[in-house]
Amino acid sequence: MKTVHVSYSDFKSFVTSKSLLPQYTQDDSSYRLFATEGNVCWESLIAKNSADETDFLANVSIYNQPLEIKAGIGRPLRVSASPQPLGTVEHWKGFQITVPIGQTSGYIDITFPTTVYLRGGYIVSNDVDLDDYITADVLLAANNSTYIAGLIDHAWMIPNQPVDFHSAESMAFPTTLKIRVTLNLGTADLNDVHANILVDYFL
């Protein structure tokens, strides 16, 4: 990361114009202000008992907020140490896939009534064999057209062993889309085969 030292006036301007989250530390004689933007760290040093200090203290409430990571379209502003977007609550929702007797696959469509920030989830089953696997595709909810193929591709199942699909980030998931999760069996079973899904999202 490259550190760029600027005046206090310029630092405030960058914070405002670039929507940065300023941080600060202090010692006995000064305040060290800094704000990250990608691989650049803007930094300013102001002395205590100065006019700049008076202005800084008047606006200190905007400093040392949780750091957010800027990302692409659909990726939320989030706390740096967590995939959770600011101002949201984490939720969990359960689903179950059933492959009927004599069949080699079954699926479930995962949808939400409102836009959520999807992080991932777990899939577990005590009915599967070692040649059974999970696939998932993102479809358009209106007509089942494939939007993203192979979101999950051949995730092999182990009986009673949760398969973790969590991401380090979360992604906005609108109501116009759905995730079709399919359980594929190596061979048809003489009983119904079930797999349980726990989806982790923020709202």
pLDDT at 79 (0 to 100): 46
pLDDT, one tens digit per residue, over 29-77 is: 999 999 988 778 999 999 999 999 999 999 898 898 766 554 455 555 5
Query: β-pairing, 105-110 with 90-99?
Result: unpaired
Average pLDDT along the chain: 89
- CATH fold for the domain made of 2-62: 3.30.720
Provide the pLDDT confidence category of residue 83 given band limits of 50, 70 and 90. Answer: confident
pLDDT at 82 (0 to 100): 64
Please determine whether the domains at 2-62 and 90-202 fall in the same fold group of CATH. no
Of the two residues 167 and 67, the one the predictor is more confident about is 167
Give the DSSP letter string of the chain.
-EEEE--HHHHHHHHHHTT---EEEE-SSEEEEEEEETTEEEEEEEETTSHHHHHHHHTGGGTTPPPB---STTPPPBBTTSSPBTT--EEEEEEEEEE-TT-SEEEEEE--SS-EEEEEEEEE-SS--TT-EEEEEEEETTT--EEEEEEEEEEE-BTTBPEE---SS-EEE-TTEEEEEEEE-SS--SS-EEEEEEEEEE-
Is the predicted pLDDT of residue 18 greater than 90, yes or no?
A: no
Domain boundaries, given as residue ranges, for the chain: 2-62, 90-202
- CATH fold for the domain made of 90-202: Jelly Rolls (2.60.120)
pLDDT, one tens digit per residue, over 102-122 is: 999 999 999 999 999 999 999
pLDDT at 178 (0 to 100): 97
